[in-house]
Amino acid sequence: MYECLLMEAHAERVEVIYQPFRGKIKGLYCDNVIAINSNLQTTAEKACILAEELGHYYTSVGDILDQSVLQNRKQEQRARRWGYEKLVPLDRLIAAYGAGAHSSHELAECLNITEAFLCSTLQHYMVKYGTCCRIGHAWICFKPFRVYRGL
């Protein structure tokens, strides 16, 4: 999925660069450039950061670094939600569960994302849809995570 996100960034003429950052910063977006912390170790972590930063490209306006400003926090959340839905759409969750990934570790590994990103994604979907929702012929429950087919 990381490669797909890189291709999307390229198609949108968004440059992706790698820079060492100090502190907790893992990625930044500004003026059609996404900078990803070059100290990140795994493709899964890079994919999660790239998804959120692409979310900023599509949904954010201006300098939102000051998170004490309500509007900036809203833009940050919008970019994160975009990243969750881009990287982990509901059909991918259902497919991963169907492939035998049932624990959070197995799901994250199957989806090639971090467990923290998975947890945040499931929380996002629970806020958006409630505890469970129907997708085609399946019911997906977010807490605890389960998929029921053919109900």
Residues 7 and 80 in one domain: yes
For residue 129, the enclosing domain spans 90-151
What's the structural domain count of the chain? 2
Q: Which residue has the tokens 């990625």?
A: 27
pLDDT tens digits for range 62-71: 887 778 888 8
Show Cβ contacts of residue 125 under 8 Å, excluding neighbours closer than 6 positions. 84, 90, 133, 140, 142
Among 44, 70, 87, the domain boundary falls at 87
Among 87, 104, 131, the domain boundary falls at 87
Helix (H) or strand (E) holding 135: strand 132-135
Residues 52 and 30 in one domain: yes
Residues 77 and 112 in one domain: no
pLDDT tens digits for range 5-46: 999 999 999 999 999 998 889 999 999 999 999 999 999 999
pLDDT at 151 over 60: no
pLDDT tens digits for range 46-103: 999 999 999 999 998 888 777 888 887 898 899 999 999 999 999 999 999 999 999 9
* Cis ω for the linkage preceding 144 (within 30 of 0): yes
Record the pTM: 0.90
Strand 138-142 with 33-37, pairing: unpaired
Sheet strands (E) in 20-75? 27-30, 33-37
Residues 71 and 109 in one domain: no
